Chain A
């Protein structure tokens, strides 16, 4: 006969096993969803993927349609976004960590404000871009207006990631530099930034890849038109890959769903290679530091 205690232990262990199985199946659910999503995209799009798909302009006819102008638009916009957002973001993080008085109301306001900006929906940045860059500054529906909008969108993410990286620099390193009589800026350039570089890079690349997948803010600034030329300057009108995909997805014909999927494959490959670059760079820098 089982005693009361033995029975109780058996029951508790059984409950524990049940919870273990339930939680593990939640994880399995996430993995299956990821696999299903990738399977759906590749099974629809792979047959449409070809060199001519990448080099052709969009078209009413799905067989002739391609992503050339959208791809060029994405590269232009993201290139400019990187140029604007990384110096601004890292500079702000340096100010907050190295210059600002941590206890002053101004620093606290800055921190609170950045945290709140990070939670503002991307479409709201699109409205800001529409009102300020497109209408008020008369950049019209240009690459420049799009890149500035995306810059404001990802700035909080870059700032927070860079702050974390800068915080992780051991203070003996900084103090050693100051003890040699080196100025603050030279310490930043020579000690802090190199040490924090892996963290800054990873955070920035993640932020930029988020910008690359964004469609909503750019639709708000009017980048959803039919573009059949390759942009040549930052003031040209443009479209980007996610908007081109959106455009094709919203059409009822099955052929357009297929080329939308092919466009998604290109987008995902771009995003994955950016993340791969982030990992390689991080490892390279980290090895040097250790």
Chain B
């Protein structure tokens, strides 16, 4: 190789390395901005008051910065949406990998991909204009903005993700394992529940944690359908506010850098980031433990 080509190769390699470095810079920038502004926030508001306070009124005087109502709202949405996404996602995965034939799979998989590809703003619209009126008809005391409606929409949106992650794990189990069980006279149900489920348990658990993490970070559906009232209550038919809902609502107005509103935005954002990061790391940790190998 002559010198010129070598030089060119060197420059290309270093350029690509620089590209890869951007992902590291992104992480550092996220941490610096979120925690930098949060640090300024916690110089004004004691962290203990933030984490244990039960009144959230960062823009109205007298201001109050107890984040518990937002946290409870977020966790309620995560809980109720996972009642839909986890069992239905797992069920879909079992059906796809153990029961359906190739033809059915060819039809069902694109439908699930379509469900996963619809923007969350559309689910928000669906929740507000379709799901909420139905819930109101069954339970008239339901408020227009409520946890249940938003949670159902998030559940439907995250179902395909659970299904796809679980199905991938199940499909990775070789057919010889299934055929062995069939040869002993097992029914499909026995194969699915006694062989496939136990050996994919870690992947399923990991998929569940990821789905809950997605629900916690989901923004537009809750901003549209769950309401903007940061009240500490546990009623799924009442309006609440989540961390993400608060962030959107505050950003719709004009907020100036250096104000307490701006810092509050980043404090809540930092908390959201920490919660989802920890859950994603847990999901990965589960996946790497006791993996059954064939």
The chain A residues found within 8 Å of chain B, CB to CB, are 12-13, 15-16, 19-20, 22-24, 26-27, 29-31, 33-34, 36-37, 40-41, 44, 87-88, 91-92, 94-96, 99-100, 109-110, 113-117, 119-128, 130-132, 135, 152, 155-156, 159, 183-185, 206, 209-210, 212-216, 219-220, 222, 224, 242, 245-246, 249-250, 257, 260-261, 264, 267-268, 271, 275
Contacts and interface: CB of A to CB of B under 8 A. Distances in A.
A122 B218 CA distance: 8
Contacts of A22: 91
A114 B108 contact: no
A216 B220 contact: yes
A16 B277 contact: no
Nearest to B250: A220
A121 B9 CA distance: 37
Contacts of A184: 9, 13
B204 to A, nearest CB: 15
B187 A12 contact: yes
B125 A120 contact: no
Interface of B: 1, 5, 8-9, 12-13, 15-17, 19-20, 22-24, 26-27, 29-30, 33-34, 37, 88, 91-92, 94-95, 99-100, 108, 111-112, 114-115, 117-126, 128-130, 156, 159-160, 187-190, 192-193, 210, 213, 216-220, 223-224, 244, 247-248, 251-252, 254, 257, 265-266, 269, 272-273, 276-277, 280-281, 284
Contact of A213 (B9, B120, B269, B277): B120
A94 B9 CA distance: 13
Given A33-B115, A91-B15, A99-B16, 12 more contacts: A19-B189, A122-B219, A127-B34, A128-B29, A152-B26, A185-B8, A222-B254, A242-B119, A242-B121, A249-B129, A261-B125, A268-B122
A96 B13 CA distance: 11
B281 A116 contact: yes
Given A26-B95, A242-B121, A31 B111 contact: yes
B224 A250 contact: yes
Nearest to B257: A135
A27 B90 CA distance: 11
A15 B247 contact: no
A96 B23 CA distance: 12
B220 A128 contact: no
B129 A257 contact: yes
A36 B291 CA distance: 40
B16 A222 contact: no
Contact of A131 (B26, B33, B160): B33
Main secondary structure of the interface of B (DSSP, over half): helix
Contacts of B223: 216, 246
A159 B21 CA distance: 13
Contact of B91 (A26, A209, A224, A257): A26
Contacts of B280: 116, 119
Contact of A155 (B26, B126, B210): B26
6 cross-chain pairs, A with B, having the tightest CB-CB distances, nearest first: A121-B217, A213-B119, A95-B16, A131-B33, A23-B95, A216-B219
Contacts of A209: 117
Contact of B111 (A30, A125, A245): A30
A246 B27 contact: no
Interface centre among B12, B26, B33, B265 (most CB of A within 10 A): B26
B248 A156 contact: no
Nearest to B220: A215
Contacts of B114: 34
Contacts of A224: 251-252
Nearest to B144: A252
A30 B92 contact: yes
A80 B94 CA distance: 41
A246 B124 contact: yes
Contact of B188 (A16, A131, A275): A16
B276 A185 contact: no
A167 to B, nearest CB: 16
Contacts of A88: 19, 22
B140 to A, nearest CB: 19
A113 B117 contact: no
A30 B20 contact: no
Contact of A215 (B33, B88, B121): B121
18 contacts: A12-B190, A19-B193, A92-B19, A113-B27, A121-B216, A124-B34, A127-B33, A128-B29, A155-B23, A183-B1, A184-B13, A185-B12, A224-B251, A242-B220, A246-B121, A249-B129, A250-B224, A264-B121
A106 B223 CA distance: 39
Contacts of A183: 1, 5, 8-9
Contact of B22 (A119, A130, A155, A268): A155
A113 B23 contact: yes
Given A20-B99, A37-B118, A245-B121, A121 B192 contact: no
Interface centre among B23, B265, B273, B277 (most CB of A within 10 A): B23
